[in-house]
Structures are given as structure tokens and as C-alpha cells.
Amino acid sequence: MDIAILAFLPILIAAVLMVGLRLSAKIVMPIVFITTVAIAVGGWQLSTAHIFASIIQGFVVTLDILYVIFGAILLLNLLKFSGGIDVIRGSFSKISEDRRVQVIIIVWLFGSFLEGAAGFGTPAAIVAPLLLALGFPTATAVMLGMMVQSTAVTFGALGTPILIGVASGLQSAEFNSHLLDHGIGAPHYLHVVGAQAAIVHALVGTLMPTLMIAMMTRFFGVRKSWKEGLTIWRFSLFAGLCFTIPYVLTAIYLGPEFPSLMGSLVGLPTVMYAAKKGFLLPDTKWDFPVRASWPEEWMGHVSVNSNENNISPKISLFNAWLPYVFLAVLLVVSRLSYLGLGDRLKALKFQWDNLLDTSISASTTPLYLPGTFLIIAGILVIVLHRMTRSGVIGAVSESFKITISAGFVLLFTVPMVRIYINSGLNESGLESMPILMAGWVAGAVENIYPIFASTIGALGAFIAGSNTVSNLMFSLFQFGVAQNLGIPTHLLVSLGAVGAAAGNMIAIHNVVAACAAVGYFGKEGNILRLTLLPTLYYLMAVGFIGWLLTTVFVPTIPY
């Protein structure tokens, strides 16, 4: 127990300093990084070589993240300097001027599409800047960009958290023996896990659009009212179902690759048409208070007011939206394995094996990263909108400044995460910090563990900033606990995957990256305090469902 508490210490310090004392991540993350190194060396006896190899691995991941951030900011700035962002802003006004409706269309549906296509933090990197450009406060844009990284995440990047995270995490003699005993193959098992996860997600996630809106009106409205958000509940519930119904059906009948994509592709046109017709919408519209009255904590350091001196000739609505459409198509096409484009893009790969004579490696495939597609979309803006040279230079310059500012915090945050994950490669014989913490929780709650299975998944995502990595860390652990408790293993594995998706809403380096994408520096604790509420809702609801599925409505599938 003492060693498990020691593993919790860096997380506790980060929570107290950022959420409790509201200190900037620039101050907190170096402290947390140093604490993690000290614990890894003193408690886990992690060698100096493993520490520095983890840091190098973290630097490579950081460069990937910064590349995506730069691409997202560049696209936004190019649209700002070209005047395209004004046209996009006007197009949403034609659908609805109600900010609540805009949240449903842009965040819940378009954001879920981006998650299904690309994953890995892409929705926040694209949606948050777009909301900022449409006149949302910076803090609101980041909060909503983090909240969308929940229901769609388990099937993000064409099912990567299941097809790679769970599949690789379960690879073991015990798992192979389990499959043989039940006469099934791994693909069938993963299909069952994905279908179970989708059903649980739908039961909880259908209310996410309503919660997004209610949090926006409560924390960013004139009256600070939950009620103003809930008055649109009929439409937001309809929008939730428009996504989750095709999402579940796809998971059950097609598998884990396309649920998030199919849910958004069905939901987006349906909800947009319904909004235009005023279907289920209240008579009153909702907007933010006058901009001049916004408190400083709502504001970031990225301006979205068009630079009149650099605006190109009048831009059509089609040309204004085409870069985003082109971006979405590129993301999907590159992720469809049977087309082969993704493999060709991955051919340019920089790989460093056995860093400092350890088993730790690092790699990057720059052409396959969403940052490349964001830059290509930016080039399309330059050509289509016939941007001036000064406008392009201004956009690139502003984008570099914001990206460099983001780099400092991430250079401490991501290596800290890698040390956590690699801490199992030690000389003490201890399991890695995340596994040890999970084991302590499981031992403490014993037979009521299904209530907490999703919390273990969320813990992994909170540490690693990734559903896929959480599944890699904890799927076999969930599988083993299920066998010990005598309940179907796919149940706890799927509950863990659902929790890992919810944990993305509070993952520290995801919050840092999302804040960086809109220049919201030094206020990351504000976002963590806000996104903690929907995360708790998700985990409590999934925990209750987990209890029901193991005591009242036990699944008929025995494995």
C-alpha cells in the first residue's frame, strides 16, 4: 500500500497545485516531473539509462504533439488573415445563431467525426480553434474541445484503442488459452468487447451534448444558469441519439473500426437539417455576454479578428469550408488500410531502437500525423483564398510564436508520462506505477470492483493522455480481475476501455495541448476543474452500469 501511495504522489501534487491552488502548468509540471524522477529512482530503482531513455522518448512524442498544434493554429490563422473565418462564422448564423445549437453541430458531431477519423487529440486541436474563431471565449472552446473526447474516443482513429490498444494489451498465454477454451478467435473477442463498450457508451454518452451545453451556460453565461442549457434538452437529446444509435448498430454489426465515423456521418446532416427547420428548438436563443464584460480568465492569447489589411477578395462559402472538408477527407482516406495511402505515408519513419542500451524505443511517422494534413489544408487556404504574401507571413509568424510557447510545458509533461509507463523496467522487481496503483484499487474494493473498472481505465488515460495506451497498460489487468471474480472477461475489458475514453477529458498533457492550440497558457487548472465534472458523471454512470451488468443483467456471452 505504501508503495502504491508513492506512485499516486505525482498525480496528487499536480491536482493540488493546478486544480486546488490554480498554479500554471509552467510552474507545476517541472515540479511533478522532478518528483516522478525521484520516485522512479528511489522507489522503483529505475536506472539512469532508463530515465534518460524515457525522457528522449518523451521528447520525440512532444515534437509530434507540437507538430499537430502548429498545424491547427496555422490553419486557423490562415483563415483569419484570408477572411475565410468570417464567412464560416456567417454560415453558422444561417443555421442557427443559438450558441447551444452550434456546440451540438461543431463539437458533438463534427468533433466526433474528427475523433473517429484521426483520434489522438485531433478534435480539440481543430474544434477549439474553430469555436474561438466563431466568437466563443477561449476557456469555453478548450472545455468543450476536451469534453468531446469521451464517447467517440473508444473508436477513435478507426478503432485504434480496440484494435491495437486492447488487442496488444491482452496478448498473453492466459488470453490465448481463454480463447481456445471458448472456441473463439481474437477478432471475434475484440468485436464483442467493442460492441459492449459501444452499448455502455451510448447509455451514458447520449446525454453528453446536454451536459456540454448546460456547463457552457452555467459557467460562461450572464445568469450562470444550468437551466438555460437544459431548456434545449429535447433537441440535445435528439442530437445525442442521432449519433449514438448508428454508433451502436455499427459496433454490433460491423465492428470497432467505424462506430464514431458512422455516428457522426449520420448525425451531422440529420441534426443540421433539423436545426434549420427549428425542430424541437426552444423559442429563445442563447448567447454569451457582451465580449467587453468577459473576465480575464476566459481569455487566451490568440486573436481571431480578421486583419483587414491582408484580407483577400471576397470568398465564397464553398471555398471557405473546403479546407476543412478536404482535411476531413484526407484524415479518413489515410486511415482506411485497404486504400494503402496510410502505409505509404508511414514509409517515412524515423526509428530509434534500444535508446541508451535499454529496451525503450522511439519513433515518428511525420507524414502520417494529422499535423501534415492540417498544413496541407492551410496551403489550400493560401491558394483558394488568394492570400497576400504579408497575410501568409503574418499567419505563419503568429503560429510559430504560439507553438513555441506550448513547447515548454509539454517538454516536462510528456517525459513524465513516459517515465510512469516505463517504470516497470526496473531493478526492484516492482510492477510499473500505473499497474501497481490499479492493483491497489482492485484489492481495496474486491467484489465490487466492476463499479471501479472504468476508473482504472480513466487513471491510465489521465496519466498517458491516450485511450490506446491505457488499454495497452490495463486490458490484461482487467481480464485477470474478471477471471478471479468469475465474471465474463469481455465485460471488465470493455468497461475499462469506456473509462479510458472518459479519462481523456482530464488527461494532463491533452489539456496542455488543447490550451496551447488556442493560446490559453497558464490556466490549465481552470480547464481541469471544469472537465472533472463531466468525467465524474461518466465514471459514476458507467460504474453503476458495471454493477448492474455483474449483479442484475449479467451478459449471456460467457467469455
What is the C-alpha to C-alpha distance for residues 75 and 395, in angstroms, rounded to an integer? Answer: 9
Q: Packing angle between helix 453-464 and helix 489-503, nearest 10 degrees?
A: 40
- Give the CA count within 13 Å in the CB-facing half-sphere of 222: 8
**Complete DSSP assignment for 321-379:** HHHHHHHHHHHHHHH-GGG-HHHHHHTS-EEE-SGGGSS--EEE-GGGSHHHHHHHHHH
Picking from 266, 130, 118, 257, the residue whose alpha carbon sits closest to that of residue 195 is 257
Note whether residue 557 is domain-resident. Answer: no
Q: What is the pLDDT of residue 306?
A: 56
Residues 312 and 385: their CA atoms lie apart, in Å, by 6
Residue 296 maps to a domain: no
The alpha carbon of 153 is separated from its chain's Cα centroid by a whole number of angstroms, namely: 7
Confidence of residue 307 (pLDDT cuts 50, 70, 90): low
Spatial distance between the Cα atoms of 218 and 134, rounded to a whole number of angstroms = 20
Which domain does 200 fall in, by range? 2-286+322-551
In eight-state DSSP terms, residue 483 is H
Distance between CA atoms of residues 405 and 522, nearest Å:
11
8 A C-beta contact, residue 461 and residue 500: yes
Report yes or no on 413 lying in a domain: yes
- What is the Cα gyration radius of the chain? 23
Whether 198 is covered by a domain: the verdict is yes
The closest alpha carbon to 473, from 165, 163, 174, belongs to 165
Q: Which three cell numbers stand for residue 257?
A: 473500426
Give yes or no for residue 213 having a pLDDT over 90.
Answer: yes
**β-strands 362-364, 350-352 pairing:** antiparallel
Q: What is the pLDDT of residues 379-414, one digit of tens each?
A: 999 999 999 899 999 999 988 887 887 788 888 988
Sequence-distant (≥ 6) Cβ neighbours of residue 517 within 8 angstroms: 69, 72, 73, 124, 125, 128, 129, 145, 406
- Whole-number percent of the chain with pLDDT over 90: 53
Compute the distance between CA of residue 4 and CA of residue 173 in angstroms, rounded to an integer.
27
Q: Is residue 308 part of a domain?
A: no
Provide DSSP, 253-271. Answer: HT-SSSHHHHHHHHHHHHH
Tell me phi and psi for residue 339, to 5 degrees: -85, -25
Q: How far apart are CA 250 and CA 242, in angstroms?
A: 13
Phi, psi of 352 (to 5 degrees): -125, 105
pLDDT for 487-532, tens place per residue? 999 999 999 999 999 999 999 888 988 898 888 988 899 999 999 9
Mean pLDDT, residues 133-159: 93
The winner for highest mean pLDDT among 82-91, 114-123, 195-204, 369-378 is 195-204
Cα–Cα nearest to 153, from 468, 530, 368, 544 = 468
Q: Residue 47 — left, alpha, or beta (φ > 0 → left; ψ -120 to 50 → alpha)?
A: beta
- Which are the contacts of 526, defined by CB distance < 8 A and separation ≥ 6? 22, 139, 297
Sequence-separated contacts (24+) of 342-351 with Cβ below 8 Å:
342/368, 345/372
C-alpha cell at 473: 497498460
CA 159 to chain centre: 14
Alpha carbons 438 and 476: distance in angstroms, whole number: 12
Residue 559 inside a domain? The answer is: no
Please state which of the ranges 156-170, 266-280, 293-307, 535-549 shows the lowest mean pLDDT. 293-307
What backbone torsions phi and psi does residue 351 show, to the nearest 5 degrees? Answer: -125, 130
Residue 313: its pLDDT value, please? 54
Is 405 within a domain?
yes
Mean pLDDT of 274-288: 94
Could you tell me if residue 340 is left (phi over 0), alpha (psi between -120 and 50 degrees) or otherwise beta? left
To which residue does cell 530503482 refer? 45
Angle of CA points 477, 481, 487, to nearest 5°: 130
Amino acid at 1: M
Model pLDDT for residues 459-499, shown as the tens digit of each residue: 889 888 889 889 988 998 999 899 888 899 999 999 999 99
Other beta carbons less than 10 A from residue 155's beta carbon:
35
| pLDDT exceeds 50 at position 251 | yes
The values of phi and psi at residue 353, to 5°, are -95, 155
Residue 419 grid cell: 517515465
- pLDDT > 50? residue 309: no
405 or 533: whose pLDDT is higher?
533
Q: Is 93 in contact with 276 (CB distance < 8 Å)? A: no
Instruction: Give the total number of structural domains in the chain.
Output: 1
> Does some domain include residue 178?
yes
